């Protein structure tokens, strides 16, 4: 897993260039938002099970066919698997948040997830809805915790949603 700085340096190194003003501004932004990103990750860590439970409840209210007979979260086993997967997105989203980089999401979550979900017939649209619900819950909790810029949490959740949507919705 790489963070935003190592990814940026690698890109410039691969092209044999010195860091220009855009690169330096990007690095400055990464460090300027660092404390907010770490605080947000701490909020996620301290409230993970509550966030997942609330997001699952909201998801099943918005998409009730998931928990009806024949739905992908019907039966206790499938329901638990859905919440487990939401917990994965939340955990890896927190890693990407701290790193300021979405590489970990590609490496650890999205590639294998797409293949697995497509083979099992899991609806990607409702997965994206669940990820977006978690994002809103996390933003609210982070703001309540006094994080100056709660919008820092958006990037990893939006990235997961966008990457899943481009392939399967």
1 in any annotated domain: no
- pLDDT (tens digit, 9 = 90+) per residue, 83-95? 999 999 999 999 9
Domain that residue 80 falls in: 34-168
166 confidence band (pLDDT: 50, 70, 90): low
Q: Is 61 exposed, middle or buried (CB count within 10 Å of its CB: 0-12, 13-18, 19+)?
A: exposed
**What's the domain count of the chain?**
1
pLDDT of residue 21: 97
Contact 153, 100 (CB under 8 A): no
Output the six-digit token pair for 33: 């938002």
17 in any annotated domain: no
> Whole-model pTM above 0.85?
yes
- pLDDT (tens digit, 9 = 90+) per residue, 66-82? 999 999 999 999 999 99
Q: Is 136 exposed, middle or buried (CB count within 10 Å of its CB: 0-12, 13-18, 19+)?
A: middle
98/114 Cα distance (integer angstroms): 24
Output the six-digit token pair for 89: 């997105």
pLDDT of residue 58: 98
Residue 12 has pLDDT above 70, yes or no: yes
Q: What is the CATH classification number for the domain harbouring 164?
A: 1.10.490.20
| Residue 103 neighbours by CB under 8 Å, 6+ apart | 1, 2, 7, 96
25 in any annotated domain: no
Q: Find the helix packing angle between 124-144 and 111-120, rounded to 10°.
A: 130
């Amino acid at each position: 897993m790489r963070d935003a700085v190592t990814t940026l340096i690698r890109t410039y190194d691969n092209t044999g260039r010195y860091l220009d003003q855009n690169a330096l501004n990007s690095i400055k932004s990464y460090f300027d938002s660092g404390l907010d990103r770490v605080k947000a990750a701490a909020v996620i860590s301290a409230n993970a099970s509550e966030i997942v439970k609330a997001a699952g409840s909201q998801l099943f209210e918005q998409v009730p066919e998931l928990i009806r007979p024949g739905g992908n979260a019907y039966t206790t086993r499938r329901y638990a698997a859905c919440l487990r997967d939401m917990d994965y997105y939340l955990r890896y989203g927190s890693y990407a948040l701290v790193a300021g980089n979405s590489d970990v999401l590609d490496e650890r979550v999205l590639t294998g997830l797409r293949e697995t979900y497509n083979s099992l017939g899991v609806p990607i649209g409702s997965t994206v809805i669940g990820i977006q619900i978690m994002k809103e819950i996390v933003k609210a909790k982070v703001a309540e915790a006094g994080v100056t810029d709660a919008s820092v949490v958006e990037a990893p959740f939006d990235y997961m949603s966008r990457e899943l949507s481009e392939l399967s919705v």
